[in-house]
Each structure stands twice: as C-alpha cells, then as structure tokens.
Amino acid sequence: MAEPNMKRRKLVLIGNGMAGVNTLEQILKLTNAFDICVYGEEPYPNYNRIQLSYVLEGSKRIDDIILNSREWYEENGIQLHTGTKVVRIDTKDKRIYTAEGETAEYDVLIIATGSKPFILPVPGANKDGVIGFRDIADCETMIDASRTFKQAAVIGGGLLGLEAAKGLVQLGMETTVVHLMDSLMERQLDEVASGMLKAELERQGIRFRMGTKTTEVLGGSEVSGLRFADGTELEAQLVVMSAGIVPHIELAKESGIETGRGILVNDFMQTSAPDVYAVGECCEHRGVCYGLVAPLFEQGAVLAKTIAGIEAAPYEGSSVSTKLKISGVDVFSAGEYLERPDHQVLRIHDDWHGHYKKVLLRDKRIVGAVMYGEVSDAPLLTRLIRDGALMTDERYAELFGGGTACCGGGNKESIVQAMADDEIVCGCNGVTKGDIVRVIQVDGLTTVDQIKMKTGATRSCGGCKPLVEQLLQFVLGDSYQEQQPVKKGICGCTTHSRDEIVAAIKGMHLTSVREVMMVLEWQQSEGCSKCRPALNYYLGMAWPAEYEDSRQSRFVNERLHANIQNDGTYSVIPRMYGGVTTPEQLRQIADAADKYEAKMVKVTGGQRIDLLGIHKADLPAIWKDLGMPSGYGYAKALRTVKTCVGSQFCRFGTQDTIAMGIQLEKKFERLWMPAKFKMAVNGCPRNCAESGTKDLGIVGNEGGWEIYVGGNGGIRMKEAELLCKVKTNEELEEICGAFIQHYRETGNYGERTSEWIERLGIEHVRAVVVDDLARRQALAQGVEDALAELQDPWQEVIESEKLQRDYYQAVEVDVK
C-alpha cells in the first residue's frame, strides 16, 4: 500500500470492458498508490457482454447487466469518461489524446480495447441494416428492427451468432443462421454434439443454411437480402455478422506500439512501449489471442500484481476450455475434440435424455473432451486435460459411472478437492476457488446466494453454480445442509418480499432503514444497491411524518440534484411548470449557463431547459444562482407535466390545459414514487402533448376530461389505457391523487405504472380509484397527508451548505 505522503502515480485505462475493469478491481485490492482514469467509447459503465443475449431477448434490461455502476467508480476515486474515444498515445511524453481534443498524462497505461466483429468483405456489407453483435448499441438496433421488419439473417454459427439468432426469434423475427461450415460451433464441438445442438435450436424456431457461402449483401441503401455462392438468395431486412472477432489494435499500431494479429505482450502483459500494458481480447500473447473471459481474467491477475509492484508468476498462456449455455442448452469442450487415428475414444450418446459425452485419449492420457446436455464433469475434465492425466479404471468409473449408461456420476468432492486455489471457478467475474473457500471459512457463509453477494460468483451467466455448490458442500462437510428452494426476496440480502417488508414496517412501526434490516434479519448488514433505496422509499411512503430519510441510501443523482453524464459532469434541469417560463427565468438560466460554462443548453422533450456539462463542485452554487426548484430529472418522482397551449390559444382547444398542468405539477412535484412518473395534459384528442404514452395522461373535451394511465414511451413502449371520464376539475384532481397514492402504496420499487397496471389489471385499478368512492377518498387523503410533510419545493436545492454536506458525506453502499 502507498505511504500516506507518497505522491500517487497516474494510471490510465483505455477501454471500459470486462478485462480492463477486472484488472482495476484486482489493483484496488493490492494498492492505493494510483490516481485512476478510465476512457470508454460506449456511453455505459462496465457491463457484462456475456449477457447481451438476455438484453436482446428481453429477459434482462441494460441495468441488470451493469457490473460496476458509476457510483463504484466514484467511490473508488476513479475518473470515468464514457462516450470518449482515445485516438492517439504519445509513448515518449506519456500522454493520451481523445477525439474531442482532450489530453491526459499517465505514469502507467493499460490498453484494453477489446475486439470488434469481423465483417465479411463482400459487396454490400456497408448497407444500413448490416451490423455486428458486440455491444448494447447492436442490441438496440436489433430490437428496433424487430418492430418494423420480419426477416433476419445471422451469418456465423458460433456462440454469438446462435445467441443473436435465438434473441431475434424471441423478438418475433423469422431468423435464419447462414454458416459456411457443415457443423455448428465447429471449433468447439464434434459432429455429433453439433448435430444435437442444431436439432434443439430448430425446435426452438431457428432456421439454418449450412455449408453456405455468402457472396453479396443485396439491396439499395438498406439491406434486402443475401446472395450465396450457389446463386440462391435469402430475403432479410436485417443481417447480423457474427463470423468471428478481430482484435482492436488500430490505436496501438498508429501509436508505434508493436502489433501482430493483436497488441504484442510478454509474460507480464507489457507491450513494446515503456510503462504501457495490454490485457484482454486486444492483445496477443505467445502468438495467441483469446476470446473467452477466463483467460482474460488470468491475464488481469498477473498484470495487477505487476503494476502494484508485487512479485507475480509469469502468464504462460491459458488452457482453454469452453463451458457455455447456448439458448438453454449446456455444452462443454476442452482440449482436442475431433477424433484422429491416434486417439482412443470413450463415448456415451443418450438420445433419450439428450446427453452426450466423449473423452479422447492419446497413449492412455486424457487430451480432450466434448459434452452436450449434462456438463457437471466439466471442472474435473478441464483439470485432467490440463494435467495430461492417465485414464485409469477409477477415473473411468468417476467419469462414466462404472460403465453404466449414464453421462457422469463421479466423486464430486474429489473434483473440488483437487482444484488449485487460484483456479477460476466463475469465469464471468474472475472468482477463484480460493476466493470462495475463504469467504465460507472466514465469513461463515452457508448458501450459494450469500457467496454470490460476497464474491460475485454465479451473478452473471450462472453456469458455475453447480461447482460453487460443490465447493460449499466440500468446505462445510457434515455441517452442509442442502438448500431447499427459497422464495425470492427483493434482492439477495433478504428472502422477504415487497409486501412482507411493507407489512412489517407498518405492523411494527419501523422508521429507519437500519431498523428494518435488523428486525427482518438482513443477511448483508449494510444491504445493497437494490434494497437500500427500496427500503428508504417504503419507509417514506408508510410514515411520511416520522421516518428517517437515509441520504446515503439514495441514488447519487438524487443526493446531488443532478444527472451524472458520461464524462463525469452533471446535467441541471430547473423546473418549468407545465412547460411555461418567463423572460426573467430565461435570463437566470442564460446567466447561469455562462457563469458555469455549460457545455450545452438543450430544450428537453419535457418542455424544459437542460444545462449540460456542469462540474460537481459547482452544483450547490448554480442552484443558488438559479433560484428555481429542481425539475427532478433524476428522481423516482414526478418528472414533467407536458402541456399543449389548450383553449387559451389553440382554436381546437376545449380546456385550459396550461392551468391544469401547472396546478397538477405544483401539487405532486415533490412526491416520491416507486419509479419515475410522467404526466401530460391535452386540450383535445389531437394529443399534441402525447398523453397516450404517459404514466398519467389527461385529454380535454367539451364535456370535461378523459384520464389515461399506464403509458410508456421508453424501451418497452405501451399505450396508455382509459381509466375514466370526469366532468369537473375537482373530480379530476381527486382521482389523479387517488391513482398516484394507490401506485405508491402497491407498486414495487422500480416498477413503472405500465408494468404495475399489467400486473394488477386496469379493472382492479379502476375499481379502487374510481368506482369505490370511500376507497378513492381515503387514497386522496393519503396523498394529501404525504404532501403535507414535504418541504418547500426548492428549499433543498438552493441551500448550498446542506448540499455541500450531502456531497461530501460518505456513501455506505454502491447505489447506481
């Protein structure tokens, strides 16, 4: 560790992916001697690329695959620049330059630029609608295409290609995989396993063109199909290229750093330039570029020790094995997998259960294996192949169950017992056997979920869960108790559901986050980024006059009253009620934009003005100068009330929408809710203010108002549903209040109204907040009680001293 008065060195990481950030995580465990700065081209913090297929098919959201939130960088003193491309490295002056003209010095530089998809060099490959599958932007492009087009082609029958195809089928597209070879995943699987995989994927709806060479992408400016070497064609409005990856070496090459297929590194990940290192898919070590996660983490472990000045064994390459879950099917491959004349072949093929296992021997030594369907012996086979172990009768019984017709049945205790402490168990997150054994022994952990919370093992693809369970059983011995299925809590810290937690808060009169965790026996004493904000909200909803607001449990944007941006600066949005402003307000905004050097002044979609590029240290002062309430552009609360000009000015307007919008915005602006909440007020069915895609949309007509609820204009678009029609402004306000309060009381934290209504049903919501007058009035009174406890709308954001105190206050948990 660095001495307190020792000058900290500057460490710059180019590339914000899994390999580079995992290396930083290892460095932070070893030393605090560096000021760290990270540059990433994508507008996101570090995320799990392995799970992009889940985002594509819709089972996960982008937030679900984030590995390190922006707050993690902040809390570890790391300056993060997202959406920023580094274009040059001056290895003599030790300085990097970005595309925006910014520059930074370094003492130590890590290049972790990863790889890019290989785009077939065929005519038409640059047409609109031809993409790779490597990042979130590619997922978003495919999701958008699925809303418009019906047919897709995926070129490449490897892992990523198959995952992309399955995601597109899930999105409703007729999808064909075009593969040059006659077998899928021919670099990992033999013909039998490949055939079993193809048959299963065909059952799942994927079509195949095997042994087919693509010669041209058809269409005008946009793709319309593919032409093949045999003259046949395939119609497609989306083409996904997944025929391999190419290391990103352009930056290093143009900066004079030696490259081959990748950036050349030695056994300590050093490049040809002094104090410049490379790690991950971009580098080439002993002639090999690795594309799997586990070798990249092994490289990172060596590099972290090297940079921290700790003696490290050299990286000598990785014994590559592939254990993957492809569209719900487990496959495994390690070492040699294609049979040769000098091989002795041990094989079990069980079509009934869909299991296949093949082990290859040379001179009675285990040199390779392939498995399909049942892969629990993967850790054992990986070690045996790596060690070149002799096959014996005992090992045969261990692998093949004594010759019986099954695919396994070995002594699992011997598998984990024989593993080295530094052997990777969770390839997605770089967790070793030693890491897991340590937390079991030192922290007294007894469940897989506890191990996941502590180490990250199993939190990504979940493929290592059986091995983690085996380690748990091995370490605990006789005290191990097989875990029965447990009900799912709001997060891994508890088994309690949202309803149980709220019932306990109300029934036992709990008034603080800490109290809830103690009484309900939280498994993690400090909680996590999912449960702490949720508990803070539930407490405020239940006891608005009594609860202790936990500032540390709020998101960083809520603590600072501004949205953090991809370059580490902030976005400040003052509130403009109903989208209406005055010349005086505009002058205040313009003066503040000049004074604090806003990088951009933008009119938002919610009829407000956004000041972008404000530095964190200036936030208290800019709010004081503005003298305006915050627009809550960061909050799980009312964001905007969008209005048309209504009957005041519009010839079609039937109601005074501006007055109604301002009235509703001023009433509900400070009220915390389960998720962000947007409103709109239209003066006629022409819908200029877009009421049909808002959480609460109001449309005026000659006889009064129509109320629409549960709309969403985001990633999961949903049209709002008609809740009711009312004649008076008083009835409108009461029903709006009752609707909001019912949502506050019954919504899960983070659940938008579109999801909430989908769960409860519009008939239920209508019965509670419209038809049942007594219940409606009670809910309306509940929202009034909550509003009565809220302070003046702009008091908090203009009190500079208080904001400064919140800003410097230590954050207890990583809340993203």
Q: Which residues are annotated as a binding site for siroheme?
A: 688
* Type of residue found at 546: E
Q: Are 227 and 233 in contact (CB under 8 A)?
A: yes
Q: Are 70 and 556 in contact (CB under 8 A)?
A: yes
| 243, containing H or E segment | none
Strand-strand pairing, 721-726 and 704-709: antiparallel
Half-sphere exposure of 368 (CA within 13 A, CB side): 18
Residue from 309, 303, 305 nearest 3 by CA: 309
Q: Give the separation between CA 503 and CA 257, rounded to whole angstroms.
A: 62
Strand-strand pairing, 151-155 and 174-178: parallel
Q: Give the separation between CA 278 and CA 281, rounded to whole angstroms.
A: 9
3-state SS assignment for residue 198: helix
Q: Are 358 and 497 in contact (CB under 8 A)?
A: no
Q: Give the separation between CA 688 and CA 686, rounded to whole angstroms.
A: 6
| 370, containing H or E segment | strand 365-372
Q: How many CB atoms lie under 10 A from the CB of residue 253?
A: 11
Q: Are 301 and 287 in contact (CB under 8 A)?
A: no
Residues of the binding site for [4Fe-4S] cluster: 644, 650, 684, 688
Q: DSSP string spanning 431-456?
A: EEHHHHHHHHHHH---SHHHHHHHH-
b/e per residue 530-561 (b: at least 16 CB within 10 A): bbbbbbbbbbbbbbbeebeebebbbbbbbbbb
Q: Give the separation between CA 476 and CA 437, rounded to whole angstroms.
A: 10
Q: Are 117 and 241 in contact (CB under 8 A)?
A: yes
Paired residues of 223 in beta bridges:
219
- Find how far residue 454's CA is from the centre of its chain: 19
Kindly compute the dihedral angle of the four CA atoms of residues 348, 350, 355, 356, in this order, to the nearest 10 degrees: 30
Q: Are 776 and 770 in contact (CB under 8 A)?
A: yes
3-state SS assignment for residue 637: strand
The beta strand positions in 674-756, using DSSP E, are 677-682, 696-701, 704-709, 721-726
Q: How many CB atoms lie under 10 A from the CB of residue 171?
A: 17
Residues of the binding site: 644, 650, 684, 688
Q: Give the separation between CA 145 and CA 171, rounded to whole angstroms.
A: 10
3-state SS assignment for residue 203: helix
